[in-house]
A = this chain, B = another copy of it.
Amino acid sequence: MSSKCEQCIVRQFSSLKALNKEELLKMAECKTSYIIKKGEPIFEEGETTNGIFCIKDGVCKLTKLSANGKDQIVKLVKPGELLGQRSLISEEPTNLSAVALEDMEVCFIPKKEIMEFFNENNQFSMNVMKTICGDLKDADDHMVSLAQKSVKERLAETLLHLEDTFGKNEDGTLHIQLSREELAGMIGTATESCIRLLSEFNKTGLIELIGKKIAIVDRNKLKRMSE
């Protein structure tokens, strides 16, 4: 028996907040829930998903494999967000892979129902459009950053962004747990270069390295460095 969608966190934060009781009921009936273990894919580049995923818990990375074999992280997606809207609307296979960075809980809603919501609920369409527009703006910003900033500036920028978006633990370390390789994949550099710069930031008191974890020590300096 499916659980209700009415009180789900995803509904509060995503385009789905526009859905009415009847629509939510329909969704609760057609949805499938999944548990995805850390490291496992939700979908992979080139797949046809035929629906969208709602992220109830856990963070995942959207990556694209580049010609040289490295995974570029395009975006991190957190609870409350939807996944796979783009390829559903474009009616194309996904151009990105989604891989869990933590254990995740997700729900899958089939294309059929989503398309019905589009047709019947204008506010829902508008919300989805706004989300995608937001993604596009972020992508443009990211693009300029990759094109015009140095690796050092991008690392500083990314560390701040990670703290702002995912928060920190009691010991001040970033809550989101990325390997050095993944962090390098976000800023578009070699893993060794990323490690070297973290080490440098550590020595100059910008951050503190506690095992594999990273704590931001001097936010202001880091901010200045990112510009």
Identify 21 residue pairs between A and B in the complex whose beta-carbon atoms are under 8 Å apart, listed by A's number: A64-B140, A64-B144, A66-B148, A67-B148, A72-B144, A72-B147, A85-B133, A86-B136, A89-B130, A90-B130, A92-B137, A95-B137, A118-B122, A125-B125, A129-B132, A132-B136, A139-B139, A139-B143, A142-B143, A146-B188, A147-B187
Closest B-chain residue to A73, C-beta based?
A: B147
Interface size class of A (residues with CB under 8 A): 35 or more
Q: Which 5 A-B pairs have the closest CB atoms?
A: A147-B188, A66-B148, A139-B139, A146-B146, A72-B144
CB distance from A115 to the nearest CB of B (A): 9
Give the number of copies in the complex: 2
A213 within 8 A of B: no
Is B147 a contact of A95 with CB atoms below 8 Å?
no
Contact of A134 among B90, B125, B142 (CB under 8 A): B90
Given A119-B122, A129-B132, CB of A66 within 8 Å of CB of B142: no
